[in-house]
């Protein structure tokens, strides 16, 4: 299996499938995914909590353990804004390394951060130099080969291409292994312009949530190393559960649902049925 670093360095727009628990990770693995993204939004939503630094890093670590139980694919974890200052972030790095996470992505939002598409909360970014210092401290705190990915929200906050590139340059100079360039545009023009103008060896990663029409071939041709499919699995599950729940509370029988459900045997095969303790050997 290729490492996360190898996959992203190939600049072939590798797809990182967004997961949020062990089951979603297992299913993505079975369907042939190459790498996984542990989505902060999806993990928060799965706990019925907002994506605004409410989920603690201890909770995130436990959920990452579930994801790793479901799959051994390379995993890039969303650690939001690092859960605090660089001292806290350094502790988070140690926890991630201890659990063998392949990479973490930290964004240059001011703490506490809010979801990038939350229009009502405003989008406050850290000063580029301050965030670069945070990245530098994180690199020093790292003891192994775990990737440190710096995510810039410059486009989300309305900054120009030149300003966003300057941020990314600073972060890479501070030691970031790769950059995520996020955008809420309905077209991929911003991120493609960034990628085509990028001259550093550090891979560029994008998250086409608001511009899903972006072709993976076009992304690869522009030099993009990774494309995060961030929340599609959760949104698909949400729609399916909503449809099923509506039928469960109105139908005269649940029998009519079976054709639209995964077989129970498939679920048991996936998670493994409990077979009880091993037999006790008795000699004589």
**Burial per residue of 177-215, b for 16 or more beta-carbon CB atoms within 10 angstroms, e otherwise:** bbbbbbbbeeebebbbebbeebeeebbbbbbbbebeebe
d(CA 118, CA 202): 29
d(CA 18, CA 38): 6
The catalytic residue among 21, 29, 51, 252 is 51
DSSP single-letter state for residue 222: T
Residue 51 bears catalytic tag: yes
Positive or negative, the CA dihedral 121, 41, 180, 191 is negative
Smallest CA-to-CA distance from 182 within 209, 147, 213 is with: 209
Q: Which residues are catalytic?
A: 51
């Amino acid at each position: 299996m290729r490492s996360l670093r190898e996959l992203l360095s190939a600049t072939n727009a590798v797809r990182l499938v967004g997961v949020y628990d062990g089951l979603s990770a297992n299913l993505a693995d079975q369907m042939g995914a190459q790498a996984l993204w542990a989505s902060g939004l999806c993990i928060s939503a799965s706990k019925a909590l907002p994506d605004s630094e409410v989920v603690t890093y201890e909770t995130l670590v436990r959920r990452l353990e579930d994801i790793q139980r479901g799959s051994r694919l390379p995993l890039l974890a969303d650690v939001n804004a690092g859960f605090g200052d660089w001292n806290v972030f350094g502790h988070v790095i140690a926890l991630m390394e201890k659990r063998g996470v392949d990479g973490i992505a930290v964004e240059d939002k001011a703490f506490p951060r809010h979801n990038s598409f939350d229009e009502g909360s405003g989008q406050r970014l850290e000063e580029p130099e301050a965030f670069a210092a945070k990245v530098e401290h994180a690199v020093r705190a790292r003891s192994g080969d775990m990737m440190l990915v710096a995510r810039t929200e410059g486009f989300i906050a309305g900054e120009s291409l030149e300003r966003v590139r300057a941020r990314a340059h600073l972060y890479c100079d501070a030691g970031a292994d790769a950059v995520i360039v996020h955008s809420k545009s309905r077209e991929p023009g911003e991120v493609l312009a960034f990628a085509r103008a990028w001259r550093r060896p550090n891979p560029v990663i994008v998250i086409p949530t608001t511009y899903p029409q972006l072709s993976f071939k076009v992304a690869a041709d522009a030099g993009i190393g990774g494309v995060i499919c961030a929340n599609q699995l959760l949104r698909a599950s949400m729609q399916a559960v909503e449809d099923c729940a509506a039928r469960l509370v109105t139908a005269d029988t649940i029998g009519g649902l079976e054709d639209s459900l995964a077989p129970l045997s498939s679920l048991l095969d996936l998670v493994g049925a409990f077979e009880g303790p091993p037999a006790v050997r008795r000699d004589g």
